[in-house]
Structure 1
Amino acid sequence: MSTLGRGLHGRVLEALGPAITAGEYPPGSVLRTDELAQRFDVSRSVMREAVRVLESMHLVESRRRVGVTVRPKAEWNVYDPQVIRWRLAGADRPQQLRSLTVLRSAIEPVAAGLAAKHATAEQCAELTECALGMVANSKGHRLEGYLLHDIAFHRVILNASGNEMFARLGDVVAEVLTGRTRHEVMFEDPDPAAVTLHVRLAEAIRAGDAGHAEALTREIAEGALQELDILAP
């Protein structure tokens, strides 16, 4: 597909996806692709490509003689990073953030414990670098810089766990952290206690202390939930 084609179907996706996840098209709604192609001023082929992407996310399904139907929320691929992004942009952001943070609190402590056992010297160095980057960007309203190091920090832990299933959750964690920042569900300057916990976690993993790494990660998750209670009740 040409660059123009990708741009067009991307524009359609960025309109339809959030509309579906926000409930503007309730489950069971039939999307008339011809009408939508006219509405967005795109060709039928562009519209079909957009529908294929939505199908891959399990947001819709195409049936002969029925058309494109919105699927129930229970069937959506809620781990798809784009679906997460769209839902975080909608009215159910607090619930979505809480669900994802609870998921992280169940998985990341285990991943951190495994990382303490399996992390390479290079991965330990990356963690230390990321933690120091978080410290350097934790004051002065430098949330974008902080975010980049925070995402990288958690990706390293998931990858260092040695578990490919955990590693694949890196994009999910990235979308949660990005969503909190973009939608201002974070303090203007990150909580100093949370920043310190990340530094201590990097040290625990480098020291091979699995139990301490797990405990510190749980503290980080609990702090994130408390922050949500304040900023997104």
Structure 2
Amino acid sequence: MSSSLHDRVLQTLGREIIDGTLPPGTVMIAEDLESRFRVSRSVIREAIRVLESIGLVASIKRVGTRVQPKSRWNALDPQLIRWRLASQEQGAQLRSLTELRASVEPSAARLAATHAPEEIAVLLLELVAQMRNAATAGDRVTFTELDIEFHRHVLRCSGNDMFASLDSAIAEVIRGRTEHGMMPKHPSQATLARHEGVARAIAQHQPDLAQDTMAQIMDRTTEELSSVWADSPRTFS
């Protein structure tokens, strides 16, 4: 029960901060939150702790908890990404992460083709085969999870720990596309062929081909999603 109460408070406050219901500078008082949600101080304290870890709020001694500006948010936190994809921030969030992916993933594929151990290359080919089966069956949920694993392994087998640390953020945006109806029921054969091309290039230690083919995947992703963020202004800190 305590866990569900904590989650209710966390989800509500997180979404209200993201959508501007609680704008930057708003001070939240623990006693007021206890009364509003009808929960104990410990439940409020735990929810605030999580919001602080994401950078959405900061505790001010003898004042309360202050909502932070967007520039202080931990932009790569998976929970924050989830909230933004379900809000009016969806377009801006998709654009930011897609541009990040387009910059990073081709380089990660190139490094993987140079450094990945043989067993990882074999695993990538197996994942592509499973993706084909899920696509044929129209199983978008399974396809999405396999796609996440594919991109996670490319990032990790790049041998670059900074690239690997992006896997959770990228997983959220891939998963979010399915949850918010932005993935086709049957992925195109061209998309599947490009994933297989990346896997084979890594297995055959062809860095140029791995990089170019991953870039094609990201170009296609950008093309598919660009209409979603067409009217979303860019943020300049």
CA distance in 1, matches of 2:212, 2:57: 41
User: Residues 194-213 of structure 1 correspond to what in structure 2 (within 5 A)?
Assistant: 194-213=191-210
Q: Residues 139 and 232 from structure 1, CA distance in 2 versus in 1: closer, same or farther, beyond 3 angstroms? A: farther
Q: Which residue of structure 2 lines up, in the alignment, with residue 221 of structure 1?
A: 218
CA distance in 1, matches of 2:108, 2:224: 22
CA distance in 2, matches of 1:131, 1:37: 50
**Is contact 2:95-2:226 (8 Å) kept?**
no
Give SS of 2:65's match: strand
Q: Which residue of structure 2 lines up, in the alignment, with residue 144 of structure 1?
A: 141
TM-aligned CA deviation for residue 110 of structure 1: 0.7
Q: Which residue of structure 1 lines up, in the alignment, with residue 85 of structure 2?
A: 88
Of the structure 1 ranges 104-113 and 129-138, higher mean CA displacement relative to structure 2 is found in: 129-138
CA distance in 1, matches of 2:135, 2:92: 26
Give SS of 2:111's match: helix
TM-aligned CA deviation for residue 181 of structure 1: 0.6
CA distance in 1, matches of 2:15, 2:189: 34
Residues 82-122 of structure 1: per-residue CA shift (max 9 Å, x gap): 11111111012112101100000001111100000111111
**Is contact 2:121-2:199 (8 Å) kept?**
yes
| From 165, 168, 183, the counterpart of 1:168 | 165
Q: Which residue of structure 2 lines up, in the alignment, with residue 111 of structure 1?
A: 108
TM-aligned CA deviation for residue 32 of structure 1: 2.2
CA distance in 1, matches of 2:64, 2:227: 44
List gaps (5 residues or longer) in structure 2.
Answer: 231-237
**Is contact 1:9-1:47 (8 Å) kept?**
yes
Q: Which residue of structure 2 lines up, in the alignment, with residue 185 of structure 1?
A: 182
CA distance in 2, matches of 1:99, 1:231: 12
CA distance in 2, matches of 1:231, 1:193: 22
TM-aligned CA deviation for residue 191 of structure 1: 2.7
CA distance in 2, matches of 1:24, 1:195: 42
**Is contact 1:186-1:231 (8 Å) kept?**
no
CA distance in 2, matches of 1:38, 1:62: 19
TM-aligned CA deviation for residue 137 of structure 1: 1.3
Q: Which residue of structure 2 lines up, in the alignment, with residue 121 of structure 1?
A: 118
TM-score by length of 2: 0.93
Give SS of 1:137's match: helix
Letter of the 1:206 counterpart? A
Letter of the 2:181 counterpart? E
CA distance in 1, matches of 2:197, 2:131: 12
**Is contact 1:185-1:232 (8 Å) kept?**
no
TM-aligned CA deviation for residue 143 of structure 1: 0.5
TM-score by length of 1: 0.95
Give SS of 2:66's match: strand
Counting aligned pairs with the same residue, the percent is 44
Letter of the 2:180 counterpart? H
List gaps (5 residues or longer) in structure 1.
Answer: none
Q: Which residue of structure 1 lines up, in the alignment, with residue 63 of structure 2?
A: 66
TM-aligned CA deviation for residue 64 of structure 1: 1.6
Q: Work out the number of aligned pairs and report it.
A: 230
Q: Which residue of structure 1 lines up, in the alignment, with residue 29 of structure 2?
A: 32
CA distance in 1, matches of 2:229, 2:139: 21
- Measured on the aligned residues, the alpha-carbon RMSD in Å equals 1.3
Of the structure 1 ranges 181-190 and 154-163, higher mean CA displacement relative to structure 2 is found in: 181-190
